[in-house]
Amino acid sequence: MSRIAGVLKTLKGQGRKALIPYITAGDPHPDLTVELMHTLVGAGADIIELGVPFSDPMADGPVIQLACERALIHGTSLRQVIGMVKEFRRTDKDTPVVLMGYLNPMEAMGFETFADAAVDAGVDGILTVDLPPEEADEVAPLFTQRELDAIFLLAPTTTDDRIRAISEHSSGYVYYVSVKGVTGSAKINVEEVASKVAHIHELTALPVGVGFGIRDAETAAAVGRVSDGVIVGSVLVDTIARNQADIDQLKRALTDLLHPMREALDSLAS
C-alpha cells in the first residue's frame, strides 16, 4: 500500500477527511520551501501537493502564475524540487508528497530519470496537469513499476465513460476540479460539487479529493462532507505572496488559514 493510500485509509477509518494543501516549490524562495512544507504539516496537512514551477501553467489563474514566476526568477528547477522533497524526508517520513505540474519539465529531464529520482527522494504521487491517461503510455508504466501513484483530474464536464477510464489509470486518489476554469477563478457551488462527487463515487472506488475554490473553513467543511479530501491552493499561495517579506509572519499566516480548516474538517467526524 502506498503512503497516500495508507493515509487515506487511516483517515476513512477514523471518519475524518484529508486536508491537502498546495504550494509552489521555490516560492517565495527555494530556501524556504521545505520549512513551509513542515509548517503545513504542523497546521494539519495530511498530504502535500508541491507545485513544480512552469513558465506556462495553463490550468492556473494569476495567483499561481505569479508564484511560478517568483520561483523561476530564482531558477527553481524540477531537480531542485525533487531535492526539496528529499530534504523534507530527512525529518518527515510519513506525510505523503504529490508533485503537481506539467509534462515539459519531466520530458526534458527524461521520464525514467525523473521517476527514479522522485522515488529516491520520497515522492509518493505525480499529478501532471496536461497529461491525459490516453497519452500516458510512455510514462504510466514507469510510475507503476516504481509504485508512484498517478493522479489524474476530473472536471465538471467529464463524462461517465471517461470517469471510469481515468479511474482505471489512477491510483492514490482522483482530483475533482470543482469549477469550470483555472485555479482561483470562481466561487465554488457546493450543491453542484456534492451532486457530482456523489456520482463519481458511484463510478470509482478511489478516494475523491476536491480542489479549486476552497478558501476558508466554511467551504472546506462543506466540501469535506461530500468528498474524501479537500485540496487548498490559491488562497495559500496568495497568503505567501502577501507575507513573503517576513518568513515568521508568513508561517503564522499559513497556520492561521489552514488550522481552522483542519478543525472544521475534524468536526465532521464528531
pLDDT digits (tens, 9 = 90+) for 195-224: 999 999 999 999 999 998 899 999 999 999
Residue 185's pLDDT band (boundaries 50, 70, 90)? very low
- CA angle at residue 165 from 161 to 166, to 5 degrees? 115
Nearest to residue 216, comparing CAs of 183, 187, 258?
258
Q: Which of 71-80, 130-139, 259-268 shows the lowest per-residue confidence on average (mean pLDDT)?
A: 130-139
- CA angle at residue 195 from 194 to 201, to 5 degrees? 85
Percent of the chain surpassing pLDDT 90:
84
Transcribe 14-40 into DSSP letters. HT--EEEEEEETTSS-GGGHHHHHHHH
53 preceded by a cis bond (ω within 30 of 0):
no
pTM of the model: 0.94
Confirm whether 269 is domain-assigned. Answer: no
Q: Which cell goes with 240?
A: 505567501
| Sequence-distant (≥ 6) Cβ neighbours of residue 242 within 8 angstroms | 253
Report the alpha-carbon distance of residue 163 to residue 101 in Å, rounded. Answer: 21
57: containing domain: 3-263
Mean pLDDT along residues 8-31: 97
Ranges assigned E (strand) in the chain: 18-24, 48-51, 97-101, 125-128, 149-151, 153-154, 174-177, 208-211, 229-232
Confirm whether 239 is domain-assigned. Answer: yes
pLDDT at site 270: 64
- Dump pLDDT digits (tens) for 66-89: 999 999 999 999 999 999 999 999
Mean pLDDT along residues 233-259: 96
Structural domain count, the chain: 1
Beta bridge partners of 23: 50
Rounded-to-10 torsion of CA 130, 174, 270, 14: -120
pLDDT at site 184: 44
Confirm whether 270 is domain-assigned. Answer: no
Confirm whether 133 is domain-assigned. Answer: yes
Confirm whether 258 is domain-assigned. Answer: yes
Q: Which residues are catalytic?
A: 49, 60
Confirm whether 96 is domain-assigned. Answer: yes
Residue in the structure block whose three cell numbers are 483542519: 262
